[in-house]
Amino acid sequence: MFIDDPLTGQGVGSYRLASPRWASGDVNPTSHAHNELLELLAEGGVLVGVPALLLVGGVLVGAGRILPRRAPATRRHRVAAGAAAVWIVLAAHAAVDFDWLFPILAVAFAVTAGVIAAHQPPTAPRPAPVTAVAVAALLLVALGAGYVEGFRRTEGAVHPPWNATAASARAEQAVDAGDYDRAAAIARRAARWNPADPRMDLWQAVATMRMDDGGPHPVVAAARSAAPAFGVRLDAAHQLLAAGHHAQARALVTETIASFDRYQGWNLAGAAAVAHRLSVSAAGLDAGCPAAVAAAERAMTTPLATAFGSEDYRAQASVFCSQ
């Protein structure tokens, strides 16, 4: 991912959806790289990854100045040495996992780094305030961009152009409102910042299908290229149903359900419930009552599809039998 776009990467927060394009067929994709710095390089290129690497390297040097102290330890030094030891452990673990996704670990990492910076020996060179503020600002932008979408989905809010999740939500709203030109424009703009995010391809394909009635094939192609991003595939099936392409939606949902077995380690109960509901609707719209009933029975006998214990697929199928 980094080699293909080393300057800006594939888009901040895009690893979960974009990484399968670079994975070989025998690899079980994961939602995050098990190395925080490599993930920053893949998502943000050198513009995000290099400041992060410089910051981590600087703190590591600072920790190295604190720990090998031979003079009698003061209380201040003991606090700094403890923070340095904790930070080194956190940094080492972040090299093999996605620790910064969890706020408590990210805060511990930042706080211990601050303690290390504040307790440098008097002879140690200190960064200029302007440099420190600039590096901190870059990291805040890089790390905060991935979390803005949860609070910025309403119309009229300020949406950073690199926020793919917010852009996808706005494109979907525009499609639902029948404003297909706007949906395509939103997706194109976000794609410049997130070139490998499959949601941008999907909403451009959906807008084209709904505007020009160009057929379902671009939407199906965008959905299949997004595997294993189940949410993208199910959004595509929903849009195909809304456009009247029932057979294609049914085939896409069937493929998606069949692929769940490969990802048994993932928590797919929510996606499975949505997929089976779509399966019943697609089967009913495509082939009527018998197909809907058959899809409902398959869902009711699938443990993953009934994990929540509240899904009544038979009642959903009965709608097609009463028409």
More confident residue, 20 or 176: 176
pLDDT for 282: 93
C-alpha dist (Å) from residue 77 to 70, 73, 74, 142, 321: 11, 6, 5, 32, 76
- Out of 55-69, 189-203, 275-289, the most confident range is 275-289
Q: Is the pLDDT of residue 205 over 80?
A: yes
Confidence at 239, pLDDT banded by 50, 70, 90: very high
Q: Is the pLDDT of residue 155 over 60?
A: no
pLDDT for 251: 94
pLDDT for 146: 44
Confidence at 149, pLDDT banded by 50, 70, 90: very low
Nearest to 166 by CA among 147, 183, 152, 186: 152
**CB neighbours of 66 closer than 8 A, spacing ≥ 6?**
77, 80, 81, 84, 116, 119, 120, 121
Nearest to 138 by CA among 54, 61, 59: 54
Confidence at 281, pLDDT banded by 50, 70, 90: very high
Confidence at 174, pLDDT banded by 50, 70, 90: very high
More confident residue, 5 or 129: 5
pLDDT for 279: 93
- Out of 10-14, 27-31, 235-239, 267-271, the most confident range is 235-239
Residue 32, sorted as left (phi over 0), alpha (psi -120 to 50) or beta, turns out to be beta
pLDDT for 156: 45
pLDDT for 148: 44
Q: Is the pLDDT of residue 158 over 70?
A: no
pLDDT in tens, 64-123: 888 876 655 678 888 888 888 888 998 888 888 888 878 888 888 888 888 888 877 666
Torsional sign, CA 48, 97, 105, 196? positive
Q: Judge contact between 212 and 241, C-beta under 8 A.
A: no
pLDDT in tens, 288-303: 999 999 999 888 888 8
**Across 8-12, 114-118, 128-132, 243-247, least confident range:** 128-132
**Quick one: average pLDDT of 144-148?**
47
Q: Which two tokens stand for residue 267?
A: 């928590």
More confident residue, 149 or 238: 238
**Quick one: average pLDDT of 191-210?**
88
Domain ranges of the chain: 15-149, 159-321
**Quick one: average pLDDT of 36-64?**
85
Q: What is the CA radius of gyration of the chain?
A: 24
pLDDT for 136: 57
Q: Which two tokens stand for residue 274?
A: 């949505």
Please provide the average confidence, as pLDDT, over all residues in the chain: 79
Confidence at 245, pLDDT banded by 50, 70, 90: very high
More confident residue, 322 or 313: 313
Confidence at 248, pLDDT banded by 50, 70, 90: very high
Q: Is the pLDDT of residue 126 over 60?
A: no
159-321: CATH number: 1.25.40
